[in-house]
Amino acid sequence: MTGIGDAERDLRLVLAVQGLRAFGYGFSSVLLGTALAAGGLSATQVGVIFATMLTGMACFSLLVGRYADRLGRRRTYLTLLITMGISAALFALTNYFPLLLLAAFTGTLSTDPNESGPITTLEQAMMASVPAPARARGFGRYNAIAYLTGSLGALLAGGPAALRDLWSDVPTDQRWLLILSVSAFLAVLVASRLGEAVEPSGAHRSRGQLTKSRSTVRRLSALFAVDAFAGGFVVQAFLVYWFARRYDASPELMGVVFFAAGLLQAASSVLAGKLGERIGLLNTMVFSHLPSNLLLAVLPLAPGLPAAVTLLLARAALSQMDVPARQAYVVTMVDPAERTAAAAYTNTARYAARPVAPLAATALSQLAWPGLPFLIAGTLRIGYDLTLFVLFRHARPPAPDRVAQAPSEPSEDPR
């Protein structure tokens, strides 16, 4: 038997691993593109590598959902973290395209500190062992740490260039990608201390398939795919491009803006956890997301750069509050034996839907009104919020979480 104290201890260990990974991802994401280009890879090859990363995230998330509970969550977790370190080392030490593709396909690398495929899926399942009343707060801390350490990593990624101005023998950007390997090594040391609380009990050990929760997960996956597709219209790289085109904003300015946005997102993630306990997870997801999407839709109407940056930061303060609530909601609304599989399928739906939209956003901004991607993204996401609320406002979690659910949570099971 494992107690609440064991679950809380393991939660702190998972949060520590998340911080180490997010720092490494934030640091490497700034250097990765230029390092690959400097290594002689063409723009097409770089694009293929990034596409392979997304494909690997989706594929290995599904594998984790199917087999992790049977193989052991801790064992699978350590294997993924070790693979992450090896994959990062390959990117730091070689430019051989087939090897880079292999490393990218492992699904353990990411340019987003808060989304990292199978590792994120497994962490969500392990964090479900936290008692239901504290679950929203745990996921809030989980995301806040990712935003904070990821932003710090991105900020420090400018260090190699600054050092190079003082000392010509500073290693190339590619070699600095070993920082991600160091982060992975430290994460392995932390994760090796995880206890039995992260493993499913015998009664709740998943076979990697959805049975009781199939209808719920299908609905959530479809809705999350729409949300991720809409979010793909306004990814960070597109925002930098659009602000430069519309307001002549420099990359240096946008770097500071996104660092500030990361701090706001971290603070809002903590607030989302507390809000989820008070008004319910579904209400937190919908009623924080709606105003952020309205801000997104009107952002291109801003009369100047200061107003546009203000709207962007205001949106950042709200836009990610749904993330910890969404992660907690998924593992709360499904049968305990199906939490790993549910996290895998809902995450994979998001990974699969997102990559197409940035290409469409760039084309629309050139061929039509430049603000059209913002309007499309905002409208789609508002539709997602309203549909989610209508479909799940009467949903109730399965026992035993039902008895611990906040009174503001819905009261009827849609399945």
Query: pLDDT digits over 156-195, tens only?
Result: 887 787 777 777 777 888 899 999 999 999 999 999 999 8
| pLDDT of 113 over the 80 cut | no
Q: How far apart are CA 415 and CA 229, in angstroms?
A: 26
Q: Tens digits of per-residue pLDDT, 291-331?
A: 999 999 999 999 999 999 999 999 999 988 899 999 999 98
User: Are 279 and 139 part of one and the same domain?
Assistant: no
Task: Kindly report the CATH number assigned to the domain that includes residue 77.
Answer: 1.20.1250.20
DSSP letter for 3, please. -
| pLDDT of 16 over the 70 cut | yes
User: Are 180 and 131 part of one and the same domain?
Assistant: yes
User: What is the per-residue pLDDT for 208?
Assistant: 62
Q: How far apart are CA 39 and CA 332, in angstroms?
A: 46
Task: Look at residue 57 and tell me if it is in a domain.
Answer: yes
Domain holding 410, by residue range, is 212-415
Task: Look at residue 9 and tell me if it is in a domain.
Answer: yes
Structure tokens at 303: 């009369």
Give exposure, 355-390, as e/b (b: 16+ Cβ within 10 Å).
bebbeebbebbeeeeebbbbbbbbebbbebbeebbe
User: What is the per-residue pLDDT for 82?
Assistant: 97
Which of these three, 169, 202, 235, is where a domain ends?
202
User: What is the per-residue pLDDT for 403?
Assistant: 38
| pLDDT of 400 over the 80 cut | no
User: Are 275 and 170 part of one and the same domain?
Assistant: no
Q: Domain count of the chain?
A: 2
353 in Cβ contact with 228 (< 8 Å): yes
Widest distance between CA atoms in the chain: 66
- In this structure, of 3-12, 244-253, 378-387, the range with the lowest mean pLDDT score is 3-12
Q: How far apart are CA 263 and CA 229, in angstroms?
A: 24
User: What is the per-residue pLDDT for 408?
Assistant: 41
Burial class for 335, CB neighbours closer than 10 Å (0-12, 13-18, 19+): buried
Task: Look at residue 389 and tell me if it is in a domain.
Answer: yes
Task: Look at residue 249 and tell me if it is in a domain.
Answer: yes
| pLDDT of 207 over the 70 cut | no
User: Are 178 and 238 part of one and the same domain?
Assistant: no
Residue type, 53: M
Q: Tens digits of per-residue pLDDT, 323-370?
A: 999 999 998 898 888 888 898 899 888 888 877 776 677 677 777 677
Question: Tokens 């008004």 identify what position?
Answer: 279
User: Are 187 and 268 part of one and the same domain?
Assistant: no
Please state the rounded mean pLDDT for residues 40-52. 80
Q: What are the distances in angstroms from CA 205 to CA 2, 187, 221, 379?
A: 15, 25, 22, 40
Contacts of 355 (CB under 8 A, 6+ apart): 51, 54, 232
| pLDDT of 286 over the 90 cut | yes
Which of these three, 181, 202, 223, is where a domain ends?
202
Per-range mean pLDDT, top range of 200-204, 273-277, 351-355, 402-406: 273-277
Collapse the DSSP code of 198 into the 3-class scheme (helix H, G, I; strand E, B; otherwise coil) and give the result. helix
User: What is the per-residue pLDDT for 407?
Assistant: 41
User: Are 86 and 140 part of one and the same domain?
Assistant: yes
Collapse the DSSP code of 249 into the 3-class scheme (helix H, G, I; strand E, B; otherwise coil) and give the result. coil
| pLDDT of 29 over the 90 cut | no
| pLDDT of 237 over the 70 cut | no
Which of these three, 147, 181, 202, is where a domain ends?
202
Q: Treating both helix axes as pointing N-terminal to C-terminal, what angle do 132-156 and 322-332 enclose, rounded to 10 degrees?
A: 140
User: Are 193 and 245 part of one and the same domain?
Assistant: no
Give the whole-number percent of the chain exceeding pLDDT 90: 41
User: What is the per-residue pLDDT for 412?
Assistant: 40
Structure tokens at 80: 């993924």
Q: How far apart are CA 277 and CA 407, in angstroms?
A: 9
Task: Look at residue 207 and tell me if it is in a domain.
Answer: no
Mean pLDDT of the chain: 85
User: Are 168 and 223 part of one and the same domain?
Assistant: no
**Quick count: other Cβ atoms within 10 Å of Cβ 402?**
14
Give the whole-number percent of the chain exceeding pLDDT 70: 91
User: Are 233 and 256 part of one and the same domain?
Assistant: yes
Q: What are the distances in angstroms from CA 140 to CA 5, 118, 168, 258, 355?
A: 19, 19, 43, 20, 26
Q: How far apart are CA 195 and CA 185, in angstroms?
A: 19
User: Are 116 and 193 part of one and the same domain?
Assistant: yes
Residue type, 373: P
User: Are 87 and 148 part of one and the same domain?
Assistant: yes
Burial class for 125, CB neighbours closer than 10 Å (0-12, 13-18, 19+): buried
User: Are 136 and 228 part of one and the same domain?
Assistant: no
User: What is the per-residue pLDDT for 241?
Assistant: 78
